[in-house]
Amino acid sequence: MERLDKILANTGRWSRKEARLLIRAGRVQAAGRTARAPEEKYDLDTPFLVDGEPLSGERLVYLMLHKPAGLLSATEDPRQATVLDLLPPHLRRVGLFPVGRLDKDTEGLLLLTNDGPLAHRLLSPRHHVDKTYLVRADGPFTAEDVAAFAGGLTLEDGQTCLPARLEPLAEPGEALITLQEGKFHQIKRMTAARGKQVLYLKRLTMGPLRLDGELVPGAWRPLRGEEREALGLKG
Ligand code: URA
């Protein structure tokens, strides 16, 4: 037996708080009757309905994670810990994967989902989705660097990058960099092409999603209704 708000939150679709609101609003049915209190306890195989829709079955799940440094952006690895190791067991079994890779030493916003078409939309350069990073480098960014980023940098292997926005911050060596693509180690290699080394890197945004300042590194939460809407998702 488990509390109803916990059962709902364990699907990854709602936070505990959102689950309580749904229950109190009379939108949840358990075993054919409208549930009233989050603390009601049920067997996990009870049939549940939310807004008339069954809770069980294939579900699309969307989680915002504050990736800490030190974990791989992968679903599994024989030797090293991955971002999925931060999740409870029931959420490791629903086919979640990270949308785009952050390097092991990079922190920040990572969307975990099992929605393949959404991942494709967010990652394909054709869709022009902005991703903004906070960068700290071992030397100051100059007006020439800003122009070079805007013009489309050529990397050491001859690949050219799409135009990118570099906005130097007041602290010397710090900047915001906005890309619409995701080549391997792209920010580090673009910065290297301008004669500097990245010391710290954190992703702040991806399209309409902004890293929740309340999430400490390693913490995650389901996307909120307004975030799902901003991504063009229903429900
Ligand atoms: N660019 C990088 O160099 N590393 C990341 O993790 C993301 C963008």
- Most confident range (mean pLDDT) of 86-90, 114-118, 175-179 is 175-179
Of the chain, the percentage scoring pLDDT greater than 90 comes to 80
Q: What is the pLDDT of residue 57?
A: 59
Distance 121 CA to ligand 1 centre (A): 19
- The sign of the torsion formed by the CA atoms of 181, 187, 193, 194 equals positive
What does the block give as tokens for 140?
A: 């100051």
Q: pLDDT higher for 234 or 47?
A: 47
* Segment 188-211 mean pLDDT: 98
> What residue's CA is closest to ligand 1, atom 7?
102
Q: How far apart are alpha carbons 17 and 25 in whole angstroms?
A: 12
Rounded Cα distance, 113 and 231, in Å: 13
Catalytic residue among 43, 51, 85, 103: 103
User: Is 77 annotated in the active site?
Assistant: no
| CB proximity list for 17: less than 8 A, separation 6 or greater | none
Name 45's Cβ contacts closer than 8 Å, sequence gap at least 6.
Answer: none
116 Cβ contact list (under 8 Å, min separation 6): none
pLDDT value, residue 235: 58
Query: Which of ligand 1's atoms lies nearest the C-alpha of 188?
Result: 3
Residue 132 in 3-state DSSP?
A: strand
3-class state of residue 4 by DSSP: helix
Amino acid 15: pLDDT:
86
Residue 185 confidence (pLDDT) above 90: yes
Please compute the mean of the pLDDT values over residues 206-224 and round it to a whole number: 97
Q: What totals of helices (H) and strands (E) does the chain contain, helices first?
A: 6, 15
Distance, CA of 107 to CA of 152 (rounded, Å): 25
CA of 186 from ligand 1 middle (Å) equals 5
Nearest CA to ligand 1 atom 4: 185
Atom of ligand 1 nearest to the CA of 185: 3
